[in-house]
Structure 1
Amino acid sequence: MEAEIKAEFNNSGFKIADEDSVLSLTFCINYKLTPSDLVSSWEVYYLNRQLSESTIHNAEMDGFLLHLQNEQKEALIKEEQGLHAYSIRDVDMILNDEPEDTKEGILDTPTNRPLARYEELGDSAHGTNGSLLSSSKQSSIVTPFGQRTNKFVVQFKTKTEPIAETGEKESEDEDMGDEIIRRAQPTKRCSLVIHGSKPEPGCRFMYDRIEDRFNYLVNRIQKHASEFLSSGLYEEPVDPTVASQKQVFAVGMICCDGEGRLNEKSVLLQSSVEHSGGEHVRLEIGKLNQYSIFPGQVVGIFGTNPSGHCLVALKLVDAIPLLPSSDCNLHPAKRLSLIEDGISNCQSPATAELSVIIAAGPFTTTDNLLFEPLTELLAYATRKQPQLLILLGPFVDSEHPEIKKATIDRSFDDVFYEEIIRRLRDHVEYMGSSTRVLLVPSVRDANHDHVFPQPPFELNPETKDQITSLTNPGTFDANEVKVGCCTVDVIKHLSVEEIFRNTSGDPESVPFDSSIAPEALNISSIPQMLILPSDLAPFVKVLSLNVEGEEQEHVKCLCVNPGRLAKGIGGGTFVELHYRGSPETAYASIIRI
């Protein structure tokens, strides 16, 4: 058979460099292929990879083996197309009498095939400034992930106003098919600069004292008070607990006077030790036209305290003032010095561009540990070729049923490196040096330190050139676009604790360590992109922050919640984003698998 395989390759114009390894009978025996079938599969692989040499090297065999596995899996799926396992959403569809027309709602993407045909559906209407636009063609059917033959569905498309003007041209470009992508030149490798390294891997944690927690809270209040004063827009903060008929300005932290949720009658303001010895005063907010406050928030208050027992708020300042900054063109060392002294609103250059795919865990469904959603995500990334792939934990989810019950026969580290890192390493090797992957851990990762702030993963040195780990939370620059991210569900926690919400939750479940927090949580500038994965509905939205001064300016920030890649036994969502110059001109798609 080896002679037949060699003859078939030679007849097709291919030469074999290492015959002992390439002419292995395992390819034919394991996959029941004839020599002719084997060479035909190689030709498909050769064209898909855009290989130019006619000599076959042993180094290419791993990728070819993966290609054969994909073909076999696709063939098995085609044989079982008649199978369907019903889920709760199927029942909802039947009860609501929804049409069973899934051909328009689900794209025909074979499982785990990197360069399979992908067709984006539904031309969404034009939107304005980050408003979510739902595609008119959505799938109502969700089956167990392992039994789904069609995976990718464009669920929403979010466009900002400048992009909407040229949206038709972009849609044409997206629909030109795989042939254009195959002929496209490799993407340019993006620059990546990580800011801050605290906490470091192996750091000592969960030894914080009551003194550490007290100092952390006091320093937060004092820092805000100093920044309000240094802006020149506010006067020196005073003690809010002292009786005064005049209007005063005070800075303090919002607290609740009991164990329950915050409400309009239970709001307290705790001022700094410097101004009031850390005492509380009742805060009356009934005269404010609008507000959104939560326990732990540091605010500035204009008000009066006639009796000394209650501060009547007339105006609430819930954000540190942003001062116009001209430090964008300074030397990096000088710019860093200015940033350390205060907050900078320096935006990225108008020419900054970045293509990125953002996904948050869990990366496997609750019925197995096969990590099929991650495989599908990497297949999509293989086709789209983004410059940066941002993956946010949990990766080995401590809340997964099999992890909680301890029914697996592998260590958590083995699961992480075998199921996550191995797939990512194969992906970047397949894509080449232009692709970069960034990992952000979660406090739900069973194989990592259970603390917040959280150190980065310790990765093998040979993968660090293309696979990088970030602290949680962390900031980095990619192609001069400043990005911040945090895997703690901040959005859900704030929605729970806001004074006007009526839901339940427990943000105290976050294993916060105040002894390592001061350095790790000191983010000194407003990012152009803020990634906050949440259990709540995914979104991409442009936020506008006012810059106080003689002429008000606006600092834009693109806030991204990619949702969860896996939800229960079904697939979830992720975000594909193209950043072009500013948050307002970015183009994003929220995609369901």
Structure 2
Amino acid sequence: MASQSVLVQFNLKPEDSDVGSKCEELMAIFGLSVEDLFVQWETYVMNASTADDPLQLNVENLGKLQEHLQKKLVKSQQKTPLSSVKRPMMRTPNMHLIPSTPSSKKHRTDTPQSADVSFTALVSSPLQTSPTKSAVSGEILETLNGHLDVLPGSGIKPKLLANFNPQKYKFRTMNQKLLEVADYLDEQIDSMAKVVLEHYKFDSEEFGNPNIQSQNEILTVGRIVPDSPLTASDADLNANSLFLETSRLGGIGQRIKLDLSSLHDYSFFPGQIVCFRGQNLTGEFFKVTEMHQIPFLESPVSSAEELQSYEYGAGNMKVVFTAGPYTPQKELNYTHLAEFVDKMNNEVRPDTVVMFGPFVDVNHAQVADGTLHFDGLEKQPATLDDVFRAVVAPILRKLECLVILVPSTKDATTKHAAYPQDSFDRKTLGIPKNVKCFPNPATFQLNEFVIGCSNNDIFKDLKDVAVGASLKASRFDRISGHVIEQRRYYPVFPGGLKQKRSLKEYEQSVHISGADLHVSYMGLAEFNTSLPDILVIPSELKAFSKIVQNVLVVNPGTFMRQNSAGSYCEVNLKAPKLDELEKVGDLYLHTVWKRARVDVRRT
């Protein structure tokens, strides 16, 4: 009999007992938690789906996953012993990468420097052919608020307002200073301590240093960290391996082991800012007796006049979100993207299309080995910028609506490969006038809707230690809740790393991408003074749409999954009507989560 956590995590029905039992078997064999197994399954589906439809969750395919995990285990055991292998720096977490909580000021973040890496092509470059097409392009895979109708676009260009200063993103990368990082991390904790103090009306005398032995209970605000600074960023933590890191003001920057035995419902992850009540009786650990939640930001509001102008002016609105890569893994072919553009113009007709990178993926095999050839071009591109300018830009130019581009740190055509990330260079890449270039992350408004976008895979990188009711909740719900509570688009620290195996025997793996945080500028990756109406964070994991804390959270998935069709999200936004909105004083809440229908569709 499958446990409740397995049923919830994999969205199984009670009659799927054989599938649940197989999941329990795999967890026991490989020592995986239910969340680790879910991530392994999603990753396997993404890499193994070469047919028209993605792999279905059944006993047969779980058996294939078991074979895959066994092969990985055997390969890892056959590798050269650690002592004789020259390992790249990424084996140990980059000490200068310190994730941070943005503090809504002029703070910056430093990108982990990665050594020069020679990429070995995993596949030879094939002849250009059309990528595998989906049997039913545009098929609905998942719907949120299905009782609402699919609406036609208004046909009126929406009012676009950028809630960021683009000049702040033009900082120099790989120029991080340790003192600046330390100052930022301290301010992150101290500023959140002020928020907690003001919200709960605590007496400031109650706050103390958790590292000092005392018989008295105190309040403290700090950052969750692993038990050792050398712990790998992808290591699996547990309740016994969590420490609390203080600021220089609140505890001289020291760390103290946490005793969480008195808490029965929690979810903690490295980089999380928390507020605890407890005591340090022995000087060896801080026993937590109570946890105080970080207060949420307020929801956005608008005046009656502004909402009425959208109700009787622009009307309904349709927005499409899609994220790269836009080519199959076996070849750099943009045929599928061109077909998608035609579909947008002739069938979907959205008012706005928001497209996330990578557009030219630096990890693509043909980009890595330089074997690029595009049919129909009189002159073949000499640089990767030429690829974007000659192949990608003409496709984007055909879109007959407002287009917003958000880069990725995996984009080969951006000079700013750090998060937060500057926008694309319009002039260098030949980006057409109908396209707006925004930084990563970015907060902006379409009419009255506040949209927050971040192109850094928090859903894959955040690994929490959960107990009680939090463990039973969906992983995507929990992570979305953490992002909203922490007021940061990427609250994990240190950021995730992505590796690939090398074909050379003397190299075990190489760092090819990841969160690439530039810590001292992470203030640019924080929410503004209010929550967004719609929070969009693409992930390699399964596409979804959810409502968390009255925020519509959307993951459009990837446009291509290896060599088969992926997914995109279509959001139908109903025009505001004052008599249907909640009034707060003289202003009105947007309540987008009530009047937006979200369809996850196949590309």
For Structure 1 versus Structure 2, the TM-score category normalised by the shorter chain is: 0.5 to 0.7
The equivalent residue for 1:300 is 275
Q: What is the 5 A alignment of 1:281-296?
A: 281-296=256-271
The equivalent residue for 1:438 is 404
Alignment counterpart, residue 387 of structure 1, candidates 351, 371, 395:
351
Structure 2 CA distance, aligned partners of 1:232 and 1:97? 53
The equivalent residue for 2:159 is 191
Q: Give 1:230 deviation, angstroms.
A: 2.1
Q: Give 1:318 deviation, angstroms.
A: 4.3
Alignment counterpart, residue 332 of structure 2, candidates 349, 356, 369:
369
- 1:558 to 1:520, Cα distance in 2 relative to 1, 3 A: closer
The equivalent residue for 2:317 is 354
Which amino acid counterpart does residue 205 of structure 1 have in structure 2? T
The equivalent residue for 2:452 is 484
The equivalent residue for 1:74 is none
Alignment counterpart, residue 566 of structure 2, candidates 566, 572, 579:
572
Alignment counterpart, residue 256 of structure 1, candidates 207, 212, 226:
226
The answer (yes or no) to whether the contact 1:373–1:565 under 8 Å persists in 2 is no
Q: What is the 5 A alignment of 1:386-535?
A: 386-408=350-372, 410-427=382-399, 431=400, 435-448=401-414, 449-460=416-427, 466-494=434-462, 496-498=463-465, 507-508=496-497, 509-521=514-526, 523-535=528-540
Structure 2 CA distance, aligned partners of 1:464 and 1:148? 28
The answer (yes or no) to whether the contact 2:360–2:411 under 8 Å persists in 1 is yes
Q: Give 1:530 deviation, angstroms.
A: 0.5
Alignment counterpart, residue 597 of structure 2, candidates 581, 587, 593:
587
The answer (yes or no) to whether the contact 1:355–1:388 under 8 Å persists in 2 is yes
How high is the sequence identity, in percent, across the aligned residues? Answer: 24
The answer (yes or no) to whether the contact 2:132–2:565 under 8 Å persists in 1 is no
Q: Give 1:231 deviation, angstroms.
A: 1.9
The equivalent residue for 2:588 is none
Q: Give 1:372 deviation, angstroms.
A: 2.1
Structure 2 CA distance, aligned partners of 1:257 and 1:238? 21
The equivalent residue for 1:276 is 251
Secondary structure of the corresponding residue to residue 408 of structure 2? coil
Secondary structure of the corresponding residue to residue 423 of structure 2? coil
The answer (yes or no) to whether the contact 1:393–1:440 under 8 Å persists in 2 is yes
Secondary structure of the corresponding residue to residue 420 of structure 1? helix
Structure 1 CA distance, aligned partners of 2:353 and 2:54? 35
Structure 2 CA distance, aligned partners of 1:262 and 1:97? 31
Structure 2 CA distance, aligned partners of 1:375 and 1:516? 36
Decide which structure has the larger Cα Rg and report it: 1
The answer (yes or no) to whether the contact 1:145–1:569 under 8 Å persists in 2 is no
- 1:457 to 1:294, Cα distance in 2 relative to 1, 3 A: same
The answer (yes or no) to whether the contact 2:495–2:517 under 8 Å persists in 1 is no
Which amino acid counterpart does residue 198 of structure 2 have in structure 1? S
Secondary structure of the corresponding residue to residue 245 of structure 1? coil
Secondary structure of the corresponding residue to residue 584 of structure 1? helix
- 1:464 to 1:286, Cα distance in 2 relative to 1, 3 A: farther
Query: Does 232-241 or 452-461 show the bigger shift?
Result: 232-241
Query: Does 222-231 or 239-248 show the bigger shift?
Result: 239-248
- 1:245 to 1:468, Cα distance in 2 relative to 1, 3 A: same
Superposed CA deviations along residues 96-123 of structure 1, whole A, max 9, x for unmatched, are 999xxxxxxxxxxxxxxxxxxxxxxxxx
- 1:399 to 1:329, Cα distance in 2 relative to 1, 3 A: same
Structure 2 CA distance, aligned partners of 1:350 and 1:229? 40
The count of residues paired between Structure 1 and Structure 2 equals 410
Structure 1 CA distance, aligned partners of 2:411 and 2:299? 40
The equivalent residue for 1:312 is 287
The equivalent residue for 2:500 is none
Which amino acid counterpart does residue 368 of structure 1 have in structure 2? E
Q: Give 1:90 deviation, angstroms.
A: 8.1
Q: Give 1:156 deviation, angstroms.
A: 2.0
Superposed CA deviations along residues 430-489 of structure 1, whole A, max 9, x for unmatched, are x3xxx2000000000011121111001121499675210111111100111001111110
Structure 2 CA distance, aligned partners of 1:261 and 1:426? 46
Structure 1 CA distance, aligned partners of 2:60 and 2:211? 62
Secondary structure of the corresponding residue to residue 267 of structure 2? coil
The answer (yes or no) to whether the contact 2:131–2:336 under 8 Å persists in 1 is no
- 1:585 to 1:241, Cα distance in 2 relative to 1, 3 A: same
The equivalent residue for 1:226 is 194
1:152 pairs with 2:137: yes
Structure 1 CA distance, aligned partners of 2:569 and 2:251? 47
- 1:201 to 1:278, Cα distance in 2 relative to 1, 3 A: closer
- 1:223 to 1:464, Cα distance in 2 relative to 1, 3 A: farther
The answer (yes or no) to whether the contact 1:201–1:457 under 8 Å persists in 2 is no
Which amino acid counterpart does residue 391 of structure 2 have in structure 1? E
Q: Give 1:243 deviation, angstroms.
A: 3.0
Structure 2 CA distance, aligned partners of 1:87 and 1:204? 40
Q: Give 1:361 deviation, angstroms.
A: 0.2
The equivalent residue for 1:540 is 545
Structure 1 CA distance, aligned partners of 2:302 and 2:213? 45
The normalised TM-score by structure 1 is 0.63
Q: Give 1:329 deviation, angstroms.
A: 4.6
**Structure 1 unmatched runs, 5+:** 1-85, 99-143, 175-180, 333-345, 545-555
The answer (yes or no) to whether the contact 2:299–2:533 under 8 Å persists in 1 is no
Structure 2 CA distance, aligned partners of 1:452 and 1:286? 36
The answer (yes or no) to whether the contact 1:208–1:515 under 8 Å persists in 2 is yes
- 1:565 to 1:91, Cα distance in 2 relative to 1, 3 A: closer
Alignment counterpart, residue 247 of structure 1, candidates 210, 217, 220:
217
> Which of the pair has the greater relative contact order for Cα pairs under 8 Å at 6+ separation?
2
Superposed CA deviations along residues 8-32 of structure 1, whole A, max 9, x for unmatched, are xxxxxxxxxxxxxxxxxxxxxxxxx
Secondary structure of the corresponding residue to residue 234 of structure 1? coil
- 1:87 to 1:491, Cα distance in 2 relative to 1, 3 A: closer
Q: Give 1:520 deviation, angstroms.
A: 5.0
**Structure 2 unmatched runs, 5+:** 1-48, 62-128, 373-380, 476-493, 498-513, 577-591
The answer (yes or no) to whether the contact 2:52–2:135 under 8 Å persists in 1 is no
Which amino acid counterpart does residue 254 of structure 1 have in structure 2? I
- 1:201 to 1:306, Cα distance in 2 relative to 1, 3 A: closer
The answer (yes or no) to whether the contact 2:224–2:272 under 8 Å persists in 1 is yes
Which amino acid counterpart does residue 327 of structure 2 have in structure 1? T
The answer (yes or no) to whether the contact 2:196–2:294 under 8 Å persists in 1 is no
Structure 2 CA distance, aligned partners of 1:331 and 1:524? 22
The answer (yes or no) to whether the contact 1:154–1:589 under 8 Å persists in 2 is no
- 1:460 to 1:385, Cα distance in 2 relative to 1, 3 A: farther
Query: Does 440-449 or 300-309 show the bigger shift?
Result: 300-309
Structure 2 CA distance, aligned partners of 1:411 and 1:210? 35
Structure 1 CA distance, aligned partners of 2:297 and 2:213? 31
The answer (yes or no) to whether the contact 2:212–2:283 under 8 Å persists in 1 is yes
Which amino acid counterpart does residue 246 of structure 2 have in structure 1? S
